[in-house]
């Protein structure tokens, strides 16, 4: 039991909080390593490291809950990459044919592009490795968003970079704030006994989310104008 406790990462709190810039440098380092390889074992190792650190070190702040959305987006990216490789073909020739789809005839000016045709194991493997690389990059960015405090990152910037830092921090916090709004509105709809899933629930949640994003933008613009930003 003692050995397990010594191997467990410490929970994040004020006394051992890591600088947000350090989290971004760490995440960018993981992303750089992921962009240099298509080895699925190395990519899985990088994703596992990012997931473990996020699980051990993230707080209860609103931006810390955005990691799951980045993971889901990464899975969607892999699925779309495989779908494109199946429908539009792959530049990698293969000998192991899995299926043959009906091929749509295209005009002469579309030479080099095909819709349908043979689906090979080698082509799908190449598409999976390529999609896994992009998915690993998204997960690394999601880890930085979940671990780094935007307000602390903005306060740590020098005065000469403050205006540029405001724009960067606003851009980085867009996705976490959007995800937090979606979670809050879905929880409110569940408490009222209204559906929060499916196309209907998505449409009814989307309008308040866009309204909240617009209100935040107007409030931020007013605050920056009051502080003399031109």
Residue 12: other Cβ atoms inside 10 A: 17
Q: Which helix (H) or strand (E) holds 100?
A: strand 97-104
Number of domains in the chain: 1
pLDDT value at position 185? 76
Residue 44 to residue 34: CA distance in whole angstroms: 9
Of 117, 89, 112, 91, whose CA–CA distance to 102 is shortest?
Answer: 117
- Is there a domain that residue 15 lies in? no
- Is there a domain that residue 54 lies in? no
In tens digits, the chain (230 residues) has pLDDT values of 444 444 444 555 555 567 778 888 899 999 999 999 889 999 999 999 999 999 888 877 766 777 888 898 899 999 999 999 888 877 777 788 888 888 888 777 767 677 888 888 888 999 999 999 999 999 998 898 888 776 666 666 665 565 666 666 666 666 666 777 777 777 777 777 776 676 666 667 777 777 776 676 667 666 656 666 54
Query: Measuring CA to CA, how many Å separate 186 from each of 61, 86, 207, 216?
Result: 18, 35, 12, 19
The pTM of the full predicted model, rounded to 2 decimals, is 0.69
- Is there a domain that residue 225 lies in? yes
Q: How many Å from the N-terminal Cα to the C-terminal Cα in the chain?
A: 59
Q: What are phi and psi of 115, to 5 degrees?
A: -125, 115
Query: Measuring CA to CA, how many Å separate 189 from each of 165, 179, 193, 214?
Result: 36, 15, 6, 21
- Is there a domain that residue 205 lies in? yes
Per DSSP, the residues of 108-159 read: GGGTT--EEEEEEHHHHHHHHHHHHHHHHHHHHHHHHHHHS-HHHHHHTS-G
Q: What is the dihedral of CA 223, 225, 227, 230, to 10 degrees?
A: 140
- Is there a domain that residue 88 lies in? no
- Is there a domain that residue 139 lies in? no
Q: State the residue range of the domain holding 173.
A: 157-230
Q: Is 229 helix (H, G, I), strand (E, B) or coil?
A: coil
Q: What are phi and psi of 102, to 5 degrees?
A: -60, 130
List Cβ neighbours of 38 (8 Å cut-off, separation of 6 or more). 129, 130, 132, 133
pLDDT value at position 2? 47
pLDDT value at position 78? 94
Burial 154-166 (b: 16+ CB within 10 A, else e): beebeeeeeeebb
List Cβ neighbours of 124 (8 Å cut-off, separation of 6 or more). 82, 85, 86, 90, 98
pLDDT value at position 217? 64
- Is there a domain that residue 83 lies in? no
Q: Is 104 helix (H, G, I), strand (E, B) or coil?
A: strand
- Is there a domain that residue 218 lies in? yes
pLDDT value at position 162? 59
């Amino acid at each position: 039991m003692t050995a397990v406790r010594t191997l467990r990462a410490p929970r994040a709190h004020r006394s051992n909080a890591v600088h947000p810039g350090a989290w971004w440098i760490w995440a960018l380092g993981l992303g750089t390593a992921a962009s240099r390889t298509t080895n699925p074992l190395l990519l899985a190792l990088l994703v596992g490291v990012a997931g473990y650190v996020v699980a051990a070190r993230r707080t209860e702040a609103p931006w810390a809950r955005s990691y799951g959305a980045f993971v889901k987006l990464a899975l969607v990216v892999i699925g779309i990459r495989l779908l494109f490789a199946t429908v539009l073909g792959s530049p990698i020739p293969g000998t192991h044919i899995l299926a043959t789809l009906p091929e749509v005839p295209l005009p002469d000016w579309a030479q080099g592009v095909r819709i349908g045709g043979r689906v090979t194991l080698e082509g799908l493997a190449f598409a999976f490795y390529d999609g896994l690389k992009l998915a690993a990059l998204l997960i690394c960015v999601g880890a930085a968003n979940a671990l780094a405090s935007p307000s602390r990152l903005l306060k740590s910037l020098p005065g000469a970079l403050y205006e540029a830092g405001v724009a960067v921090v606003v851009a980085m916090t867009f996705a976490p704030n959007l995800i937090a709004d979606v979670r809050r509105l879905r929880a409110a709809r569940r408490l009222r006994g209204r559906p929060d899933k499916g196309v209907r629930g998505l449409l009814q949640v989307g309008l308040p989310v866009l309204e909240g994003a617009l209100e935040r933008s107007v409030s931020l613009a007013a605050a920056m104008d009051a502080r003399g930003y031109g």
